[in-house]
Every structure is written in structure tokens, then in C-alpha cells.
Amino acid sequence: MTLQEAFAARTHNGKAFVPFIMAGDPDLATTTELIVALADSGATAVEVGVPFSDPIADGPVIQRAAERALAQAVNMEGVLRACAAARRRVDVPLVLFTYANPLMRYGVEKLAGQARDAGIAGVLITDMPVEHSQPIAQRLQRAGVDLIQLAAPTSTDERLQRITAAATGFIYAVSRTGITGEQSRLSDDAARIVGRLRRFTELPVLLGFGISTAEQFRQACAIADGAVIGSALVQVIAEHSGSPGLVNEVRRRVAEWTATAAALPV
């Protein structure tokens, strides 16, 4: 399933739920099971983080998850194997959330060639400016893989136009300035960045960075086409790592988050 097909089939009252997990935390076999559980729980797509030693956009929760994965020597090849194993069981599109260094080291052409078999529908390169992304986008798009663009509240309208012109799949709207991580309330920047993006694109706009509670997910869905939940989910996984109830706890927490979208007007 492509991202376009997944967004067309959104089931959470027309809103998208895109969870983020760090591949290899607590291990790659569990990563596969978590992807399956998230798909079964109604995820529109699943973002799968590629562990990296210098994740400058990520807060402490995701940084620690990356460190735990790297301690097990998890690399791009292992991440793709875990994704492929999950995609043999479910049809949810997967988005690789990575930094430029692991991608370049692995090889864009190599990844593009293997992405379809691994169920990768999109790639988000956190530290890749739109001005430098076009050669990579072309290679990925030839393989049917979208390059997701990030849009920050600090971006000028001119820059947002460049971002939206280059984007495919969906736009990841950063809900606040700074790094990822849980927050007590949805930033005032969130509504502003979504409203500005809507002037330049008809692609789905998802809010991310700091969406951590059911109420914040509801608020994000009221503003945007859906939301990405990352640090809060990664924290649940960390707290239940090694427990036989980990996957069920993830299912329970996802149900809590997504049920709030049902209260929104259609």
C-alpha cells in the first residue's frame, strides 16, 4: 500500500494516526511485532526510526532508544529486514525516519532498490534541507518511494513553497521549535504552521514533535490531517521492555490515543 492509498483510506474519523518506533528497541524481532500490532491497531502508516549516534533533532527519550539499538549493532540492513518481515504479515506503509549519514553510508541507490521489497513507502531525512534533497528524491521516486519533507514554524513563506513543491506522500509539520519530546500542551505554533502550509499544498499535513497525550492527539487532528506520536510511544516501549505484555500495552495505549479522534466532527 502506498502512502496515497493509506491516506485515502483513513479510518480515524478521516484523520491519520502515524506512530513512530525506534528500530531495534528493544530488539529487531520485537520491532517486527510492534509494526504488526500498530498496523492491526489502525495505524495509517508507521514511522520506523533508523538508530543514529548523533540524532540532533531528537529529545532524550528517542536518543536513549537509539543508543539501546546501537548497542546491539542495529544498522540499516537489520532495519530493512525487520520491516520486510512485518510487511509479509500486514499491508501498512512504512516510513524510514533517518538522518543523512546512515542513508549515505548505506547508499541511496541500494536503499531505493530494496525499499519496495521491505515495504518502505517513504523516507524522511531529518537533517536534509530541501535545497539538497532533489537528487535523492529522484532516485527514491523511481522506486516508488516518497521523500517526506519537514516544515518548521520558523520557515518563511518562500521556503514553505519550496518544501511543498518538493514534497510527496505527506508534509510533516513540526508543531514547535526545538527537539522531539513530550510536552504539557500543544504549541500555539501548531495551528499557524498548518494554516500556512494549506496555502501551498493539497498534500496531507501531519503534526509531529511533542504530541504525547490523547488530548493533544485530538487537538492535532482538529487542526491538521492527523498526527505523529513518537516520544510518548517510545517511552511506553522503554518502560515495558522485556515484559511479555509489551505489545499488548502498546495496543492499549494506541487505542486510548486514537479513540479521541472519533469525537471530532466529520
* Domains identified in the chain, total number: 1
Residue-number span of the structural domain to which 105 is assigned: 3-148+210-261
- CA–CA separation, 227 and 219 (whole Å): 9
Report pLDDT for 56. Answer: 81
Q: Where do we find the cell 502506498? A: 2
| CATH classification at residue 250 | 3.20.20.70
154 part of a folded domain: no
72: which DSSP letter?
T
Residues catalogued as catalytic? 47, 58
Report pLDDT for 167. Answer: 94
Report pLDDT for 148. Answer: 96
50 part of a folded domain: yes
- What amino acid occupies position 70? L
105-164 residue pLDDT tens: 999 999 999 988 898 999 999 999 999 999 999 999 999 999 999 999 999 999 999 999
Question: Per-residue confidence at 251, pLDDT binned at 50, 70, 90?
Answer: very high
First-last CA distance in the chain: 25
Share of the chain above pLDDT 70, in %: 92
Q: Computed over its alpha carbons, how large is the radius of gyration of the chain?
A: 17
Among 6, 17, 29, 12, residue whose Cα is nearest residue 247: 29
190 part of a folded domain: no
Report pLDDT for 21. Answer: 97
83 part of a folded domain: yes
102 part of a folded domain: yes
At 198, is the secondary structure helix, strand, or coil?
helix
178 part of a folded domain: no
3-state SS record for 121-155: EEEEECCCCHHHCHHHHHHHHHCCCEEEEEECCCC
- CA–CA separation, 217 and 246 (whole Å): 22
Report pLDDT for 241. Answer: 93
164-201 residue pLDDT tens: 999 999 999 997 554 444 454 576 788 899 999 999 99
55-73 residue pLDDT tens: 887 889 999 999 999 999 9
* Chain mean pLDDT for the chain: 90
> Does the pLDDT value for residue 266 go beyond 70?
no
Share of the chain above pLDDT 90, in %: 74
Lowest mean pLDDT among 27-41, 90-104, 184-198, 203-217: 184-198
At 174, is the secondary structure helix, strand, or coil?
strand
